[in-house]
Amino acid sequence: MSVKKYTKADGQYFKVINKSSGAILMYGELNESNELNTVHNVEFISEEQYEAERPKPEALSETKII
């Protein structure tokens, strides 16, 4: 398997998709100092799509303490 490298020059917002299953592994944002290295498929997306699709952290008021 060959690792591919991506930088902000390729795009700012992305999602990483499992090469075998097609499942979305993660969403992310690249800046000037970041580099993404992966063997999986990468799809660069718009900021609007990134904000709409990425998982949102739970608000503190919704967090359950056990």
- The phi and psi torsions of 55 (rounded to 5 degrees) equal -65, 135
Q: What span, in angstroms and rounded, lies between the C-alpha atoms of 49 and 44?
A: 10
pLDDT (tens digit per residue) in 20-29? 999 999 999 9
64: Cβ–Cβ under 8 A, 6 or more apart, which residues? Answer: none
Q: Is 6 in contact with 14 (CB distance < 8 Å)?
A: yes
DSSP structural state of residue 33 = T
* Residue 27: per-residue pLDDT: 96
Average model confidence (pLDDT) across the chain: 91
The model's pTM: 0.81
* Residue 60: per-residue pLDDT: 64
DSSP structural state of residue 8 = T
